[in-house]
Structure formats: C-alpha cells, structure tokens
Amino acid sequence: MRLVLLLSGFLLLAGCSDDTTNQGFAGLAEPADASAYLQPRPGDTLVFPEDYGPHTQHRIEWWYLTANLKTGDGKPVGLQWTQFRQAIQPRSPEIPSPEPSSWTLDAAWMAHAAISLGGEHRFAEKLARGDVGHAGAEPEPLRVWLDNWQLRQQKPGVWHLSVHAREWGYDLTLTINGDPVAHGDRGFSAKSASGEGSMYFSLVDIALEGQLTLGEQIVPVSGKGWFDREWSSQLLKTGQQGWDWFALHLDSGDKLMAFQLREEEGGFKSGTWLPADGEPVPLSPDALELKPEEFRHGHPVRWRLQVPGYGVDVSVKARPGNYLNMGQFPYWESPVDVDGSHSGVGYMELTGYARDGAKD
C-alpha cells in the first residue's frame, strides 16, 4: 500500500504553462478525457517481467523497498527507498517514448529515501519530469532511476540499489528469494468495500548486504527486505482519510501484510498471510483487527494487530524517534518491532494524520 496523497508533491513540476498556473498539479494531471486512463479491475492478472516496468496507461504507480538491517556490531537499521510515477497524460505502451528534445511532459517522477539508525531519521526527496532522461523505469533487465538514485538488476535474482543524498547514502546488493506474491485476487487488491482497487504484488524474501555512508563513516549492514510494486488510476475514495500499512517478518518464518484505509466510521481492511510453509492467503476485512494503542508526534506508533484465524495477536511498535518523512507531504515511515503471540520486525507506514505532529 503506498502514498497516493504524496502526488500532491509534484506541484513543483506543474508550473510549466500559463493555463495551469492556478490549477496546480491536480489540474495538469487530469486529461481531457479521464476515462483514457486504465483502471485495474477484478479479473486482471499479473504478467512478468513486464509488470516490473512502467504502466503508461495508468495514472499512478510506485516501486518501494523497506529493509530491516543490522550493523556489524548488531545495531538495528531501518531503510526505505521509493520511486513514484504520476501520469500527466496516458500513453499506450505501443507508442514509443518521445524524444527528450521535445520536452514532453507525459509523466512526473518522485523518489524518497531514508535511513533510521540509533533514533536518528534521515530522509531525502527528489523530483523529476519524465521523458527527458532524468528518471524512468525498464522491466528487463530491471532498472528504475531518478538521477543518481538507481535500482538495477545485476543478474537474474540479484539487484543493486544505490542512493546518494547530501552527507549520507547507501549501496546495497539485494538477493531475491522466492516468487512474487500477488495480493488480493491474483494481484487485484481491493481498497474499498465498493470494489475500487489497484494491482499489487510483493517480493517478501530479500537478503540485503552492503554499506551505509554517514558523513565520513562507512557502516557495513545486512538483513532482510520487502519490495512492493503497485499501480492504479484512482486516488483515495471520497471519505477515506488516509491509511495504515504494515509488512512484518515474523521469527516463526511467517510473514504478514496488512492495511486499512480510514474513514469517519470504521474503514476498509485487507491483508495477506504468508505462512512459512504454504501458499499466501488473502485476508478479508473481517479476518483481521487493527487497534492503535499509543501515539507519538501525532501518529499511532503502537498497534495491536490480530489475525485470529492464524493465532496472531501481536503488539507492533515503532522504535524510539520521530520517523516523519518531511517531504512535500509529510508521512510516517518507521521500522517496527513485534512481540506477543509472535515476535519479529517489519515496517509501518501511516498517512493522513494531523500535520501538527511534524512540528513536535
């Protein structure tokens, strides 16, 4: 589950013609015929490796990695990398990309990166317009880039991620284990009771090894990661205020993805249970419970998460610190620890909460 609301951050790319000055990016993003965008529907399926690449007929998409790592002396490290694509106009995949010299604006791109270590959270954001060479994505061999931030395939099953921000960065080798996990109905992930949704799959068993650069310091790290791939053409449904998303690596070998989209009265929940031995199981809204139990910086940082059908009753808690990503649209992105019926680690993303927490 990712950050549709973050698309407001592309406002910086919108002031490129006089007739969009007062509309901002939202006005620029609407084509003359909004129905020209494709919208995922039940019955749609995933196709590999094509679905690692861009979906130029869809409005929004993202590539997203979170990782729970440790330094050589055992200190926990959280790491995030995300790249977003926002279509300005849909384009059929049969139509080749325009020449960079035409300065076409069919899409805009945004990338986020973060390192969380010892209670200190470092975050950076990059923006670029599409089709001029500064940002893009290719499915085979996989390559996703924005300037000098790049995820690329080195060989089958092995990727390299390189991010260099001001005074910090990371270079990591990702070894992909297992097949992609399709969420929902063969990859169609409902996001409301009325059936709107997105296409969504994950790689949930990734071994990472490499190094962080923190000023003049080089820090070797290793651990495990979770990679999400999602695309749609629909923003949040009217009445939905934001979402809470969890991806958990349990010490039992099981894994769990769960999310909810909040509304004034209740909301919509979904998830996937990934047993250590066996096939992924889609979780219906009544199969899981999410309850916030502690707040920090205006955000619920400790949750009780239950999946009664699989004996899961855990506390999911962010580590000490402020994990607000202070980009164009602030949101919470933190590593978490899990205890209770199961122990483990994972990541939590929270959006749509009061911006006042960003000042705490």
At 105 the three-state DSSP class reads: coil
> pLDDT at position 79, please?
98
Q: Per-residue pLDDT for the chain (360 aa), expressed as one digit of tens each?
A: 444 444 444 444 443 333 332 222 223 334 445 578 889 999 999 999 999 999 999 999 999 999 999 999 999 999 999 999 998 876 666 666 665 555 566 789 999 999 999 999 999 999 997 767 789 999 999 999 999 999 999 999 999 999 999 999 999 999 999 999 999 999 999 998 888 899 999 999 999 999 999 999 999 999 999 999 999 997 666 778 899 999 999 999 999 999 999 987 778 999 999 999 999 999 999 999 999 999 999 999 999 999 999 999 999 999 999 999 999 889 999 999 999 999 999 999 999 997 544 444
Number of independent structural domains in the chain? 1
* Strands, E assignment, 284-343: 289-296, 299-307, 312-318, 324-325, 331-340
pTM of the model: 0.89
Per-residue confidence (pLDDT) for residue 285, from 0 to 100: 95
pLDDT at position 25 is 29
Q: Which residues contact 178 (CB under 8 A, 6 or more apart)?
A: 203, 204, 205
Indicate which CATH number applies to the domain containing 102: 2.40.370.10
The whole-number pLDDT of residue 328 equals: 86
CA triple 321-323-325, angle to 5 deg = 150
β-pair type (299-307, 312-318): antiparallel
Place of tokens 């997203």: 64
Q: What's residue 346's pLDDT?
A: 98
SS3 73: coil
How confident is the model at residue 14, as a pLDDT?
Answer: 40
Domain encompassing residue 149? 4-359
